[in-house]
A and B are shown apart, each in its own frame.
Chain A
């Protein structure tokens, strides 16, 4: 069966510090991968998605970036965090039609 891992589960970072969130998927190959951000427990904002290694589509211009160094690894990064980057970050994968989500990372920028 397939599983998706995200870490860390929670993170508190000062403004201006770098960020690296990691997501890995097990039990499948060549998945589509996604990063979402959820603010205040409501709607999902799609940040990045990838249909293959090295193929990253960005949905919103901001100080975040994403990379896919391996088939089942998706990394979300920032060189300098802003207060507005606080939120709940969710990684997801899909193959065929269904999309499955990781447990999420709660990021608080102070």
Chain B
């Protein structure tokens, strides 16, 4: 069965510092991986995806993610955090056989001014 894990409930980072939000996955077959962001009382917004190709994926708002097959990880990164990046971040994997998306439990990012 497909699954993703987000080992950190919360990540705190100072504004201007680089940030990393961790995600590991377990899939059978090729992984289709995604990152979403959610602001309070809003729906999830798509940030980026890995389907195939380059291991470094660039997405919206300056975010990027690194796909690492040997470590089965897909960590979200940003070189310089903004206070406005504070939100809830979800990693997800697509089960291409059923069209179901399996989400991690979410990581709350707090960027401190």
Report how far A99 CA is from B94 CA in the complex, Å: 10
Chain A residues touching B, majority SS:
strand
Number of interface residues of B (CB under 8 A): 24
Q: Which residues of A contact B61 (CB under 8 A)?
A: none
**B interface: dominant SS:** strand
> Which of under 10, 10 to 19, 20 to 34, or 35 or more describes the interface residues of A?
20 to 34
Residues in A with CB closer than 8 Å to B51 are: 97
Q: Which residues of A contact B32 (CB under 8 A)?
A: 97
Given contacts A43-B104, A101-B43, 13 further A-B contacts (CB under 8 A): A32-B99, A42-B106, A46-B101, A90-B44, A92-B44, A94-B101, A97-B34, A97-B49, A98-B46, A101-B44, A103-B43, A104-B42, A104-B43
Residues of B bordering A, CB below 8 Å: 32, 34, 36, 40-46, 49, 51, 88, 90, 92, 94, 98-101, 103-106
Chain A positions within 8 Å of B, measured between CB atoms, are 32, 34, 41-44, 46, 49, 51, 57, 88, 90, 92, 94, 97-104, 106
